[in-house]
Structure 1
Amino acid sequence: MRRRWLPAPLLSAALAAGWLALVRSVAPGQILLALLLGLLAPALFASLRPERPRMRKPLVLLRLIGTVVRDGLHSNWVVFIGLLRSRRDPLESRFVHIPLELRDPTALACLCVIATAVPGTVWCETAPDGSQLLLHVWDMRDEQEFIADFKTRYERPLKEIFE
């Protein structure tokens, strides 16, 4: 019974806290609305939630997080320098199709978030069958090298973690 009315307790708490932060009030009426939102939204949308993912290698996850943070910092610098030099050396931005081996929905979602979080790349779409990812790359000189690097740095660890 508890799982039906409170399918995601942490999500319920986060929604309630988020509501109170957004309205910047702890008035009784706002607390009541926050509790209603926190309890009703996860219960009403429980059928839309994917299955709980199983992580197989948490140490690989920690290493992937480190890679994403390091790549994010490096990419910020590269984008900044690229903006400064763009008049002298034009950028080569383009769309790239990356073939995927991943099939786990959670891993695919993580890959899309990573692609968008790292400056210089933006996730555009995933093929309906999940076989490829379309990215827009801000400045790319060698497409095959980019694809190989992307798959090694992000897809392979996600495959180890989730599949």
Structure 2
Amino acid sequence: MSGVLPYPLLSLALLILWLLLNQSVSAGHVILGSVIAVLASWAMAALRPEKPRIRRPGVALRLVGMVVIDILHSNLAVGRIIVGSREPGVNAGFMTIPLELRSRHGLAVLSIIITSTPGTIWVNYDAAKGTLLLHVLDLVDETVWVRTIKGRYERLLMEIFE
């Protein structure tokens, strides 16, 4: 099965997404979605991505919980900035954070966490220096952000992937 369908979960997820986006489960959409899902699975196999090795799944579950709570808090904070009396963008700024995390999978997950949290954007990662360039909507104290990224996320990602 892995020769015909190297990433079956990816293919299934893409087929479901196709059907949801088209809001139809007609035979034509199922066939077309299946063909697209299989072709995407073959394209992914051609890239030969390195398989992630999750060392501590319990820590991964704890990280997911923390990220969900942080996203909710960030939504409220950004909402207060936008709706409140403060002018949006007054404290916005860029900052550089040194990272010890070197795992490609860990860095990818960190970029997803940062970008999915309202008010922050992963701008650039310099692999040679091991630094992350981050844009923050409400940058009042850089040390709080460094402590948050390194203490809450990077430490757990290193436990999970390195």
Q: TM-score, normalised by structure 2?
A: 0.89
Q: Report if the CA contact (8 A) 1:4-1:43 is conserved.
A: no
The 1-side partners of 2:72 and 2:15 are apart by 33
Give 2:154's aligned residue.
155
Give 1:85's aligned residue.
85
Alignment of 1:1-163 (within 5 A): 2-83=1-82, 84-87=84-87, 91-129=90-128, 131-163=130-162
Question: Identity rate of aligned residues, in percent?
Answer: 45
The 1-side partners of 2:50 and 2:29 are apart by 32
Task: Output the amino acid matched with 2:85.
Answer: R
Q: 1:8 to 1:149 in 2, by over 3 A?
A: same
CA deviation string 1:67-103 (max 9, x = no partner): 111111111222222231314x973111111111111
- For these two proteins, the number of residue pairs brought into alignment is 161
Q: Report if the CA contact (8 A) 1:103-1:130 is conserved.
A: no
The 2-side partners of 1:90 and 1:44 are apart by 41
The 2-side partners of 1:112 and 1:23 are apart by 29
**Root mean square deviation of aligned Cα:** 2.0
Q: Report if the CA contact (8 A) 2:89-2:137 is conserved.
A: no
Q: Report if the CA contact (8 A) 1:82-1:91 is conserved.
A: no
Gaps of 5+ in 2: none
Q: 1:86 to 1:41 in 2, by over 3 A?
A: same
The 1-side partners of 2:129 and 2:155 are apart by 15
Gaps of 5+ in 1: none
Q: Report if the CA contact (8 A) 1:94-1:140 is conserved.
A: yes
SS at match of 2:2: helix
Q: 1:79 to 1:27 in 2, by over 3 A?
A: closer
Task: Output the amino acid matched with 1:136.
Answer: H
